[in-house]
Structure 1
Amino acid sequence: MDESTTTLALAIGARVKQERQSRGWTLDQLAESAGVSRRMVVNVEQGAANPSVGTLLRISDALGVGLPALVESPRPKPVKVTRSGEGAALWIGESGGRGVLVAGTESPDVVELWDWTLGAGDRHVSEAHTSGTKELLQVQQGTVTVEIAGQSVSLDAGDAVTFPGDVAHSYANPGTEPARFSLAVFEPGVGTGHRPEVSDA
């Protein structure tokens, strides 16, 4: 992990531990509620892991705080500004792509705003989010192929798509040039349900 990734991992770990302890939960209780292994919770809290976005979503849902709360300061502010370059890079692609969470609201009805770049050939696979989740995506540059529950949609710059986020989906760049898109995710009722058991991969 590079320095910024390490700093982010430590900040997320501290926030997870703070939220878990404020509820009086053991490591095992959080692991069971989130549907991840105890070892994964320990690694996240120690900042020793670079967990997948899916793992972070399961942990944030179990804590009832939403993913944005894990990567932001716990002090609520009526106006929160994220300057260019300050977003939380939660995914790094093999070809240099990045998934950056740039803004988000608090639970229970969480809205996340992402800035995604996909290098040539990059692909990000996302597991199904909680029931009722919706995603809105607009391509800013290049071509992006979105697969939603087996249906494939090809989008060029300026094109947009709305789809259910509570089914398996993926974003891919089939081209030879970088692609960029904005993504908004609406996840209602964070913390009111549980995700199915899945691996920590």
Structure 2
Amino acid sequence: MASWGANDDERIGRYVRQLRRARGLTLTQLAALAELSQPFLSQLERGLARPSMASLSRIAYALGSSQLEIIAAAVELDGPAPGPAPTLVRAEEGSHGRYGLGEARLLVAGDRPFYPMTFVADNTERGDFHRHPEGEFLHVLEGSCSVDLGRVDLGRVDPSGSPEGEHYELGVGDSLYYAGGTPHRWYSRDGARYRLFVVKQHVLLSTAARTAAPQLVTDLIGATP
């Protein structure tokens, strides 16, 4: 289960601050979106306060992220730079935790430019639309899944709750990609379990990852015959 210890409080706060800035939000704006107090968020970002899982869920939603992504990325914040060496995640490994209205398990370790994961849920509740700047890819491994997509230019739903966009019914073997900024939500029409393979672009915020990424591109270009 994705979790953190007392020594990770500072990294959680630092990652939230970096992600907030990457999203172009002020502390006041994040406080309003997450419906939390600005003093609490200020203390959290400085590693002086620890959020409950409910508070972290609100913060993650406001930042277009998830509890799982924030905790997993934060604990890797000061880790070694990701290089070209293969990274193996065994079947019993990988950070796992809440992702939207279901549970997900990350299939890669470290701060990487994309997050592949498996997602399992049986929610009939549609819930709120989620929205993040990164693109996302879905592939149905088991069951069937309903997907509502809102319009990117509006980023909202109409008063009746129907998305001003598209609706898709996905079955085993079906895939769907939508661009960053697209409001989206997934659910089951009959409450049956569905399982997805999800790939989400990821913001590289750690110093090591941001330093390594352009260097890796330079090395690859330099190695081209």
Scaled by the length of structure 2, the TM-score of the pair is 0.57
Q: Which residue in the other structure is 1:118 paired with?
A: 121
Compute the displacement of 1:140 (Å).
0.3
- What amino acid sits opposite 1:115 in the alignment? T
Check 1:181–1:43 CA distance in 2 against 1; reply closer, same or farther (3 A cut).
same
Compute the displacement of 1:31 (Å).
5.8
Q: Which residue in the other structure is 1:16 paired with?
A: 12
Check 1:156–1:166 CA distance in 2 against 1; reply closer, same or farther (3 A cut).
same
Q: Which residue in the other structure is 1:80 paired with?
A: 87
Q: Which residue in the other structure is 1:164 paired with?
A: 179
Confirm or deny: 8 A CA contact 2:30 2:59 kept in the other structure.
Answer: no
Q: State the secondary structure of the residue aligned to 1:16.
A: helix
Q: Which residue in the other structure is 1:127 paired with?
A: 130
- What amino acid sits opposite 2:170 in the alignment? L
Q: State the secondary structure of the residue aligned to 1:35.
A: helix
Give the structure with the higher percent helix. 2
- Asked if 1:141 corresponds to 2:142, the answer is yes
Distance in structure 1 (CA, Å) of the matches to 2:136 and 2:122 = 21
When the two chains are superposed, the root-mean-square deviation of aligned CA atoms in Å is 3.9
Give the structure with the higher percent strand. 1
Q: Which residue in the other structure is 2:210 paired with?
A: none
Give unmatched runs, 5+ long, in structure 1: 24-29, 61-65, 192-201
Check 1:98–1:19 CA distance in 2 against 1; reply closer, same or farther (3 A cut).
closer
Moved over 6 A (4+): 188-191
- What amino acid sits opposite 1:148 in the alignment? L
Confirm or deny: 8 A CA contact 1:9 1:47 kept in the other structure.
Answer: no
Aligned length: 168
Check 1:162–1:122 CA distance in 2 against 1; reply closer, same or farther (3 A cut).
same
Q: State the secondary structure of the residue aligned to 1:174.
A: coil
Compute the displacement of 1:157 (Å).
0.8
Q: Which has the larger radius of gyration?
A: 2
**2:52 counterpart (46, 49, 54):** 49
Query: Which has the larger displacement, 67-76 or 112-121?
Result: 67-76
Compute the displacement of 1:32 (Å).
1.8
1:47-92 residue CA offsets vs partner (Å, 9 max, x unmatched)? 33212276277398xxxxx855225363224343333343231337
Q: State the secondary structure of the residue aligned to 2:137.
A: strand
Check 1:74–1:8 CA distance in 2 against 1; reply closer, same or farther (3 A cut).
same
